Chain A
Amino acid sequence: MMNGRAIRAIVRKDLKVVLQSKAVLIPLIMVPLILLVIIPAVGGLLLANTDPSSPAITDFRRETGAFFDNLPGTINDRLQQYDSEVQRITYVVFNLYFPAMYLLLPTMVANVIAADSFAGEKERKTLEALIYTPTTDRELYVAKLISPWLAGVGVGWIGYIAFALIVTLTTWSLMGGVFVFDLAWLLLILWVTPAAAGIGLGAMVLVSSRVSTFQEAYQLGGVVVVPVLLLLFGQLGGVVYFSPLVAFVVGAILWAITVALIVYGARTFHRGELMARL
């Protein structure tokens, strides 16, 4: 039976400490703000105010012809419901390009906070007192995982709400309603986001035991965003299309990697090892 009070105390401590650090907080605020608020707002306003007969639209449609022609049937069916090319482009931009970009968030947030929670604690020399507490190794490990994961998922979910609101409001005159919510988004939010946060912190568990500073951990652990970037480029290149099936498969792969990393981390997490390296 794990000591819930002790775990909550460590989680509370880690989150409080993170909220007091500008080095950690600035990327945590700026990146979601740029990716999910500023870019969608600018994109939404531009698209909503574009003349459907504008040559720019015709040019864009011609240049991306292959991409549109190769879209799976379900997406094509959805696109046929729209009257104008601008509406179809708006749908594609926000429903096919943004999900992969969105996934960077929970991964990055969990990654940064885990770096601060594991390596940062070592760097600040606060780990020793924590190791002397009457927690078990497992309680310490679980507590250290929860705060980055909660933050990653929380920022992901809040980010999605902000994104959906911004996109809906800025394109209301063009799209006439909410168009960034369907089964694929639901899976992305409830299934893939927690897994993406998990992989962000799982990678950090591996890295942080080998480094001694937050910056080193952050830089090394940042490698974890590579699979998400591949997904993004795959999407842009027309290799993968965001759909419920893709969301489910991507989530399953991320969960598998996360579980493997966390189980491996649990086996190698011993306070004696940590203490010997202090």
Chain B
Amino acid sequence: MTSQAIQTQGLTRRFGATTAVDHLSLTVETGEIFGFLGHNGAGKTTTVRLLNGVLGADGGDIRVLGLDPAADGPKLRARTGVLTETPSLDERLSAVDNLTIYADLYAVPTGEVNGRVNGILETFGLAERGREKVGGYSKGMKQRLALARAFLHQPDLLFLDEPTAGLDPVATQEVHDMILHVSREEGRTVFLCTHNLVEAQRLCHRVAVMEQGQMVAVGTPRELAHTIGADMRFTLEIAPDQVETARAAVIPLAAVSAVETTDAELTLTVNDREAVPDLLAALQAAHVRVYAVIPQQTSLEDIYMALHRRKGQA
């Protein structure tokens, strides 16, 4: 098995005058949970379609699970599972019918179909209503059924487009656990398209950020924070009567861009981690007693918004 589940080089797709995917080059490792972030229209769905060979590229190279999607589409799609943005379920049919038909389409061994369908309905909490028409399901149930269908044939590579949209917190947690399980325990690769940055931060080993068809950043959240030079934030625990003294001591420092105070805390934003020792020295010189230094991790949301602003300015 190749160690790269997905490799693209200069992948491009146009619709008329619009370039939906613009020279996309990325690599996703086998077993990785890879987050694909971006606004609506950023090119995420088109990328998933290109990677599954259901849409032809105008340029560039693609290898998915070692196959060329354009030439080996059916062979590739037998090994991928896709949760589309809309559940895409036959609402006039029952959940069992929906899954049985797709089990046949994905060539699940005939003798295993019933067991596999019942098992996955059980896993996704739909067993009791499996014989009911899907049209009567809640949005969350439909989403769970669509997910079950994507998992049904045990694909090597899962493409999940907003997998927790419409789910309540408990169901969301269950889906997160399932995604982590298939990645960690079963070694499957997950390509996660999402707007939910908290979800991406929690689940993904690496993320890519798309803007107008272009990938503007890729890496772990920590790497991205470093790449974009995101400001570093940390909180100092100090004696309550020294808050104003501390504030006066740090404000003159050039590296400090923001200071927030509470009763016994000082939260500082600095533009360079090298400023931290200087800052502590300044506080010591002002006889401020520092009890703790607590780094505030830059969130994916901070990074995403910074990238978005940067792209807007460009």
Please encode chain B, from 127 to 167, with 1 for each CB lying within 8 Å of some chain A CB and 0 for all others. 00000010000000000001001000000000000000000
Which chain A residue has the least Cβ–Cβ distance from B52? A132
Stretch from A11-19, A54-62, A67-75 that touches the partner: A11-19
Q: Are B92 and A275 in contact (CB under 8 A)?
A: no
B residues whose Cβ falls under 8 Å from a Cβ of A: 15, 49, 52, 54-56, 73-78, 80, 82, 84, 86, 88-93, 97, 101-102, 104-107, 133, 146, 149
Total contacts A-B at CB 8 Å: 81
Q: Out of B49, B86, B92, B101, name the residue touching A21 (CB < 8 Å).
A: B92
The reply to whether B101 and A128 contact each other, CB–CB distance below 8 Å, is no
CA–CA, A17 and B146, complex, Å: 18
- By a CB distance below 8 angstroms, the chain A residues around B77 are 132-134
Asked if A20 meets B133 with Cβ closer than 8 Å, knowing A13-B101, A132-B82, A133-B105, the reply is yes
Bound together, the chains give a CA A86 to CA B55 distance in angstroms of 65
Q: Which residues of B contact A135 (CB under 8 A)?
A: 74, 105
Task: Give the residues in chain B near A132, CB-CB below 8 Å.
Answer: 52, 54, 77, 80, 82, 84
Residues of B within 8 A of A8 (CB): 104
Known: A134-B77, A272-B56. A13 touches B93 (CB 8 A): yes
Are A10 and B93 touching (Cβ within 8 A)? no
Q: How far is the CB of B226 from chain A (nearest CB, A)?
A: 37
The answer on a CB contact under 8 Å between A17 and B92 is: yes
Partner of B84, one of A124, A129, A136: A129
**Interface contact B105-A125, CB-CB below 8 Å:** no
A255 to B6, CA, bound (A): 47
CB of B43 to closest CB in A, whole Å: 14
State the Cβ distance, B55 to closest chain A Cβ, in Å. Answer: 5
CA of A3 to CA of B82, assembled, Å? 21
* Across-interface contacts of B73 in A (CB, < 8 A): 134, 136
Interface status of A66 (Cβ within 8 A of chain B): no
The answer to whether A12 touches B88 (Cβ under 8 A) is no
- Indicate whether A271 reaches chain B with its CB closer than 8 angstroms: yes
